[in-house]
Structure 1
Amino acid sequence: MKQLINSSRHIRQQLLAGLTYTYNDRLDWQRETGIITKKTIADDKVVLISGGGCGHEPAHVGYIGENMLDCAVMGPIFEPPASNEILQAIEQTYNGHGTLLIIKNFEKDLASFLEAERLAKEKGLMVTHIIVDDDCSIEIGTFEKRRRGVAGTVFVHKILGAAASAGKSLSELHELGQELVPMIKTLGVAFSPASPIGLIPQQYELAEDEMYFGIGIHGEPGYRIETMQSSERIAIELVNKLKQQYTRKTFTKAAVLVNGLGGIPLLELGIFMNDVQQLLDIEDIEVVYKRMGNFLTAYNTNGLSLTLLLVKDENWLKYLNAPTDAFGWK
């Protein structure tokens, strides 16, 4: 694949320079780092920080804004930021009300963010975290779920971000996050893998007529390769597997996120969303909120993911609908 890249060594800095130049009315960038913040950090609410590697745009910098994140810390391509940068972000944005870290469930991400939390607590700062583990793909040959943090993370950003703006304390936000995350389930499918970029190699290959269920957001292999199928058949696979994660009696209201992985046209996302809607209608599951587009991508992967959120509390819907100027929440 042809790539519009000047230098693999400078991808992060040039990406962040371009994004913060474009959205300089609302974002500040700590140059020579991966730290991006709101122009003004409110002094009357808990600060929300998330982050991860580049290559997932608009995540996570695209979710800085009113009723969402206060800060994102970006690492190199598909690599989390260093713990010292996360600590710097915590200190730089600290306002006395505490800091909540939203972390995707990957070993390296956990190591960096939790080390930063430990160091911040040693300095006397109030910091806690939420780990997002919405991925429902299955390991080949086992029934052990991977539980990676994937596209459902943006629902966590939005709901906890709006709850923080509404005045929830650090402990209340942590409790809300602990209740919310188990209600979010995601599954993805790829029709072609992400191309190598920087030091990241391509991890699997697909023939022209093949697709891969259960792939990850860093180009990781999935759980089953099959001959390419229609949108309707793919929707049946994803919806059925996600439904199995819930108790049928309680799964009556859902928020839906159809997420492009970076290389799929909106035309095809729209067709897939229509198929998902028809399947949920058949099951008498009321869709009370829906979004479609590129929210957490895997560089240029031709594929998509489907996220379902069981809406247990009407406040969650209120928080989802709260207005934001975050450029990634379109």
Structure 2
Amino acid sequence: MSKKRDLRFTATVVKSIVFVVVTVLATTVLAGTIRNSSSGAKTEYRALFSDATSLNEGDDVRVSGVKVGTVTGVEVAKDRLAEVTFTVSRDVDLTEGTSAELRFRNVVGQRYLNIELPQREGTTLEPGHTFELADTTPALDLTVLFNGFQPLFKFLDPEDVNDLSAQIIAVFQGEGATVDGLLSNTASLTSAIAEKDQVIGELITNLNTVLTTISNPSDQLDTTITTLQQLVSGLAEDRKVIGGTLEGLGDLTVSVADLLEEGRAPLKGSIAALGDLSGNLADSEEVIDDFLATLPTKLDRLGRVASYGSWLNFYVCSIDGRIPMPEGYMGELGVKPIAERCL
């Protein structure tokens, strides 16, 4: 009997020890998971953000989606900025040109710190390096996104919502409201929502697309936002030049309008004269045809006359006229009426 008791006692002690060891190990693992901690040598850095809302101590620090460290502190720094202290595994070298960005871990609002390494190698950053505001990017504001639910709420009847809320409160306070009344108001509200099934379906579909895009950020979206920011900044810097250009364009428009106003009457007269000219040409069609038919021959002969130089070479073949004789002159004039070269 004593041996059986000893064996039972020993078995009980062994089971208890095994249970305690397993419990301690499980508790340790659970505590490590909750703390979101990781092992290994780490290097501490700091980063300044304009907004670090929902970023908490213990959140992940990731590089290309892989966890490499942990956020160890978030506090207010100079100029109303948020200073985030975090650690990174020493196996990861942060070099000049590295940037830090806050991203959403999920749609609930949890965030993590993403480290974007430069494409080119550079000098390794010293431990304790602080990323300035120009090297950091805050997370997107999901409040604007979730405000998209407002169109859905507009389709609900406020009286039904208020009645349902009053019935629920009355039931829990024991003020005599019946379950039937509660179910009736619930059915009324559900019917109102069911009537807007198509609107709700489209809203959920659009929201699913937006959330998918947000949960899978791409380099194209980052590049687009950066390029748009650079464009807006450039336009802001050139606002004086753009303003002057617009003023000049206004003056040009006024000048063109004045020119058209001044040239309208002469243009009208020119168009009318052009009509008369067209009529005259139409009436002289035979003359014009004859002129165009003989024009090549005339041009050929003129070309021969002008082929000796920059003058026209003409020979007088005959002269016909009457020249009065001076008194007392008995000789000849010395000019033959017809030249020999023309015979």
TM range (shorter): under 0.3
Instruction: Report the TM-score, using the length of structure 2 for normalisation.
Output: 0.22
Structure with the higher fraction of residues in helix conformation = 2
Greater radius of gyration (CA): 2
Structure with the higher fraction of residues in strand conformation = 1
